[in-house]
Structures are given as structure tokens and as C-alpha cells.
Amino acid sequence: MTDFRYPIGAYEPKPFSKDKKEEWLADIRFLPNAIEHALRNLDEAQLHTPYREGGWTVHQLVHHIADSHMNAYIRFKLGYTEQVPAIKTYEEQLWATTADVTSLLVNVSTTLLFALHERWHVFLASFTDADWEKTIFHPGLGKEVNLWHLLGMYAWHGRHHTAHITALRERMDWY
């Protein structure tokens, strides 16, 4: 791997299938465990190491995942309950520098992820096949996106950032 930005590759949308749905729902359900495992035994210096040159630290990544997935949960709720709602985008780079990110330990966000992903998984697992076709308008993309696409994107997002941490651990021999 030479591109540390995409340790598992870029997100590639997939057509709906029952098997893919179960895989992606499992990614949502078990992400907090994967993050917790990836962080196991890292010390403060390691947590404040960027996963790549010019990238966020592991500490910032964990808080970013919590921020991103809280937004994702709300996006799904809006898309499920409203007709093509326009979602709110946010400045991820600026969020990564706010006081809660810079001053709180990562366990605050991992704890949040356990609760959030439990709710999110139960909610998503209740969807009918037709529910995945409901859409939101994503102003950052300038188009409508269905909830199936969002599921794949956020399943990938969790694996993507977990791989940032585990790839850094491997490169640095942090075992």
C-alpha cells in the first residue's frame, strides 16, 4: 500500500443485495468494537501521532468518526421520515480542532460510538427493501442520494478509518 489516505481503497457503490445489506449492517453494528480493538494499548504519544503525513492524529480520527456518525444517524432519520430532505454539511477540518476534540480523551467518543451504533443498527435493521430507496439531497454532492448508498458509504467510512489506525500500528510496530 502506497496511498495511506485510502488503506482499503475508495468507496465504490454497490447494487442492493440481501448479502451486502447484512455485511454493511454488521459493519455499522460492530464498528465500535473494531475501533476499541484498534486503539488497544496505545499510549498518549501514539494517540497523538498522525496516521499519515499531513493527516489527522489517531486521537482526532476517533473524535471525527463520532462526529461523522452522529451526523450520519441524523441524515438517515431525516431521509426515512421526510421527503427528500436537504441534509446539513459541516466543516470536518474545523470540527477536528474544536475544544471537545482537543481536550477530551478518545474514550469519550468510543463510549458515544457504542451507544450511537446500537441505536443506529436497530433503526437500520428495521428497514424494508423499499426504505433503502428513500433519498436525501446532499448539497455537497449537489444531488439526491438514496439511503442504500449512504449505508454503503458509512459502512466503508468506519472500516476506512479503522484501517488508518491499524495500518499506522503495523508501520510503527506498535504491538
pTM given for the model: 0.96
Rounded to the nearest 10 degrees, what angle do helices 106-125 and 18-39 cross at? 170
7 domain residue, yes or no:
no
Per-residue pLDDT band for 76 (boundaries 50, 70, 90) equals: very high
| Domain count within the chain | 1
59 domain residue, yes or no:
yes
39 domain residue, yes or no:
yes
* CATH assignment of the domain containing 39: 1.20.120.450
5 domain residue, yes or no:
no
2 domain residue, yes or no:
no
Buried b (16+ CB within 10 A) or exposed e, 7-35: beeebeebeeeeeebeebbebbbebbebb
Mean pLDDT for the chain?
97
Q: pLDDT tens across 21-73, in order?
A: 999 999 999 999 999 999 999 999 999 999 999 999 999 999 999 999 999 99
| Cβ atoms of residues 114 and 162 within 8 Å | no
Q: What H or E segment, with its residue span, contains residue 155?
A: helix 147-172
Which domain covers residue 145, as residue numbers? 18-172
Q: Residue 143: which of 132, 151, 135 has the closest Cα?
A: 135
Does residue 97 carry a pLDDT above 80?
Answer: yes
6 domain residue, yes or no:
no
| Cβ atoms of residues 162 and 34 within 8 Å | yes
13 domain residue, yes or no:
no
Distance CA 87, CA 32 (A): 25
12 domain residue, yes or no:
no
Q: What H or E segment, with its residue span, contains residue 109?
A: helix 106-125
